[in-house]
Every structure is written in C-alpha cells, then in structure tokens.
Amino acid sequence: MIRFNTSLALGGCLLWVLFACSDLRQKDQLRAIDRLLIALDSLQKVTSDQFPDSINRMRMNMMHAETSLKNKLVLDSVDRAYAHDMDTYKKARKSIGKLNTYYVELKAAITKERKQLKTLRKDVKNGWGKRDRYDKYIQSEQENLKVLRNRSSELLQKAVTIGDTYRLLHPKMVDILNNLEQ
C-alpha cells in the first residue's frame, strides 16, 4: 500500500512538472504570436499608408496623354529622345496594372497570415494539436512574415519608381501635346 502511494505521488509530481513546464512554454509562445500579430498590423498599416492612392489617376492621365499623342503627332523622322521617353512612359503605364494586382495579392496574403496567426494562437492557448510542434509553427510564421515584409518593400519600391517616372515624363508629354494643339 505504501509502495502504491509512493509511486502515485511520484507519478503525480512528474505530471505536475510536465504540465508546469508546458504552461511556461505556452506563455512564451503566446507572447511570440502576439508580437507577430503586432508586426503584421504594422506591416499592413505601412503598406496601405505608403501605397499611393493616386496611382489609378496617374494611369488615366498617362493613357489620355499617350492616346492623344498617338492621334495628333505625325513624325516625318524619328526623334530618339522622344521615342525613348514615350517607350519609358508606356512601360510605366503598363506596369501600374501589375502593381495594382501585386498590391491586392499582398493584402490577401496579409489577411491570410493574420488568420493563420489567430488560429495558431487559439490552438496554443487551448492546447489543441501537436504541442511539441508549436515552436516550429511559430518559426514558420516568422519566416512568412519576413517574406511579406520583402514583398511589401518591393511593392513600395515599384510604386516609387513609377511615381518618379510619372513626375519626370508626364510634364514633357503634356508640353508636347499642348504644342501640337496650338
């Protein structure tokens, strides 16, 4: 009887230590997931704040200027500077559509990542799933967040490049168009 009580007490202590250590890891895991959620919120805010709202207006202005120039300008010789500027201008206009698609895809990926993190947080909090793999899942989500940061950085860099091209070439194209209309 004493032997049974001793082994029961020893088993109880072992279980208590096991669950106590698991609970400590759970708090750290929840904090890590919360930090990832905060970083994701910050990434979403930066991306949406810095993505130019005027990009579609720029595209419409570029299309109008390009179409008007095609209809009104008849060159008897090739002006290489004009041809180069027009080619760059057209490429910038065409890349706006790709940029918008990339932006929509990035927003969807951020939403998906948020949902994934919330599900992981719920699983960790309730102890569902494979507890021994939670750290691997958190590390995987950290890698996903790095990928999203890189994609956001690329998107904003492309938007800046298009904006710079627009600010540089649109006034030139409008001046040529105005000279043709006079």
Supply the angle between the helices 134-181 and 55-72 in degrees, to the nearest 10: 30
Unique residue bearing structure tokens 């021994």? 132
How do residues 171-182 score in pLDDT, each as one tens digit?
A: 999 998 898 877
Tell me the CB-side half-sphere exposure of residue 60, using CA atoms within 13 A: 5
Instruction: Assess contact for 124 and 33: CB atoms under 8 A.
Output: yes
Residue 8 has pLDDT above 70, yes or no: no
Give the span between the Cα atoms of 73 and 26, in whole angstroms: 70
Instruction: Output the six-digit token pair for 145.
Output: 């967040």
Average pLDDT, the chain: 87
Instruction: Output the six-digit token pair for 49.
Output: 């704040």
Instruction: Output the six-digit token pair for 10.
Output: 């020893």
Q: What are phi and psi of 90, to 5 degrees?
A: -65, -40
17-31, 39-53, 132-146, range with the lowest pLDDT: 17-31
Give the span between the Cα atoms of 131 and 25, in whole angstroms: 10
pLDDT at 129: 78
How do residues 102-160 score in pLDDT, each as one tens digit?
A: 999 999 999 999 999 999 999 999 888 778 889 999 999 999 999 999 999 999 999 99
Query: Vertex 149, ends 146 and 151: CA angle to 5°?
Result: 110
Going 2 to 4 to 10 to 12, the CA torsion angle's sign is negative
Q: Is 75 helix (H, G, I), strand (E, B) or coil?
A: coil
What's the pTM value of the predicted model, to 2 decimals? 0.77
The pLDDT of 29-54, averaged and rounded, is 92
